[in-house]
């Protein structure tokens, strides 16, 4: 187990966030010890806005045994989803194609029920192991209240591993489907971001609403509303959380949009 003071901007895809004590755990025993004081769990940091003052609780990161995987058995929750999508395709196993391009860890993807219009994480799950209240519990997906980009894990629950529901399929078929998902993602910015900032209001696209208001390109410090996609805020280099929040505030002044990201602390 490694415990170190870090800046969370180095652990989030937006590249924003202040100091925290990072607990990198490699075994189930270490995870138990790390959770003996108040904590938060970090996945790949791709749906987070961490404030500049940082986080007072321990921030737990899954490594070691939590990053090992067997596509036909248990998959550690610290495994990167993009790696799994590629490995499943290589093995001729279908079920993860719709998740192509989502820069999550498996645990973060379960918690957020990450997905696209081609499929979501919950569809690919057979079982989920969650650590809470000092013990490891196995749930079937129906017990975890999956909905649109959300789940209902037990309070303080940490997803530790999952079993996937994958079907054998010809590789060409899987690759064709992945190419289709990839085409649909083409408009997404390549700069540092944390994915979509706002939830889509029912039947509407937050990105289109922002574009129609002429807000693309609006900038505070190094945080900017992407020119490519109105629902992305990109970090042009040294953006601070306060810049990002000010941009969010300016959009919300014009449009009643709800934040998609989780804000820490
Ligand atoms: C370029 C880009 C494109 C994106 N595209 C999509 C998309 O198409 N579809 C989509 O749904 N999302 C998308 N996202 C958003 C993001 O990838 C998802 O929300 C993803 O599920 C977050 O996973 P993470 O591992 O990064 O979690 P984090 O951002 O680290 O954490 C998010 C939440 O999950 C919790 N969490 C993390 N790991 C665990 C665990 N093991 N157990 C319990 N809780 C945990 C955290 O505590 C936090 O509450 C995109 C993001 C980026 C940057």
- Could you give the maximum distance between any two Cα atoms of the chain, in Å? 52
Query: How far is the C-alpha of 218 from the C-alpha of 89, rounded, in Å?
Result: 39
pLDDT exceeds cutoff 90 at 186? no
Query: What does pTM read for this prediction?
Result: 0.97
pLDDT exceeds cutoff 90 at 153? yes
Share of the chain above pLDDT 90, in %: 98
- Alpha carbon nearest to ligand 1 atom 40, residue: 107
Helix or strand run (H / E) with residue 131? strand 125-132
- Average pLDDT on 4-23 reads 98
The reply to whether ligand 1 has any atom less than 6 angstroms from the CB of 116 is: yes
CATH architecture of 206-264: Alpha-Beta Complex (3.90)
Reported as a single tens digit per residue, the pLDDT across 200-249 is 999 999 999 999 999 999 999 999 999 999 999 999 999 999 999 999 99
Name the residue among 51, 111, 52, 125 with its Cα closest to residue 78: 111
Query: How far is the C-alpha of 168 from the C-alpha of 153, rounded, in Å?
Result: 30
- Alpha carbon nearest to ligand 1 atom 33, residue: 108
Reported as a single tens digit per residue, the pLDDT across 95-121 is 999 999 999 999 999 999 999 999 999
> Would you call 163 a catalytic residue per the annotation?
no
pLDDT at 164: 98
User: Which sequence spans correspond to the domains of the chain?
Assistant: 2-65, 69-184, 206-264
Assign 187 a pLDDT band (cuts: 50, 70, 90).
confident
- Alpha carbon nearest to ligand 1 atom 10, residue: 114
CB atoms within 10 A of CB 72: 11
Q: What is the CATH number of domain 2-65?
A: 3.30.43.10
Query: How far is the C-alpha of 171 from the C-alpha of 141, rounded, in Å?
Result: 27
Reported as a single tens digit per residue, the pLDDT across 189-206 is 999 999 999 999 999 999
Query: How far is the C-alpha of 24 from the C-alpha of 14, rounded, in Å?
Result: 21
Burial 122-149 (b: 16+ CB within 10 A, else e): bbbbeebbbbeeeeeeebebeebebeeb
> Would you call 196 a catalytic residue per the annotation?
yes
Query: Spelled out in words, what is the top-level CATH class assigned to the domain 69-184?
Result: alpha beta
The reply to whether ligand 1 has any atom less than 6 angstroms from the CB of 46 is: yes
Contacts 24+ apart (CB under 8 A), 67-73: 71/164, 71/166, 72/166, 73/163
Tell me whether the CATH fold assigned to 2-65 matches the one assigned to 206-264. no
């Amino acid at each position: 187990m490694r415990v170190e003071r870090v800046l969370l901007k180095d652990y989030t895809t937006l590249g924003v966030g202040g100091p925290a004590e990072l607990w990198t755990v490699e075994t189930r025993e270490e995870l138990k010890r790390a959770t003996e004081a108040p904590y938060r769990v970090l996945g790949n940091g791709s749906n987070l806005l961490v404030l500049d003052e940082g986080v007072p609780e321990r921030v737990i990161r899954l490594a070691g045994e939590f990053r090992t995987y067997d596509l036909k058995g248990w998959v550690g929750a610290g495994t990167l989803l993009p790696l799994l999508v590629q490995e499943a395709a290589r093995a001729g196993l279908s079920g993860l194609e719709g998740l192509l391009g989502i820069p999550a860890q498996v645990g973060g993807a379960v918690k957020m029920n990450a997905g696209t219009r081609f499929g979501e994480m919950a569809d690919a799950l057979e079982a989920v192991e969650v650590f809470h209240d000092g013990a490891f519990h196995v749930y079937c997906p129906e017990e975890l209240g999956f909905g649109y980009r959300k789940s209902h894990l037990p309070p303080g629950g940490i997803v530790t591993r999952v079993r996937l529901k994958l079907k054998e399929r010809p590789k060409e078929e899987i690759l064709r489907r992945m190419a289709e998902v990839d085409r649909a993602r083409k408009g997404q910015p390549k700069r540092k971001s944390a994915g979509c900032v706002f939830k889509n209001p029912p039947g509407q696209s937050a990105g289109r609403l922002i574009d129609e208001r002429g807000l693309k390109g609006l900038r505070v410090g190094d945080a900017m509303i992407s020119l490519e996609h109105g629902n992305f805020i990109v970090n042009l280099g040294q953006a601070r959380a306060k810049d990002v929040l000010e941009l969010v505030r300016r959009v919300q002044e014009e449009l009643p949009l709800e934040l998609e990201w989780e804000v820490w602390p």
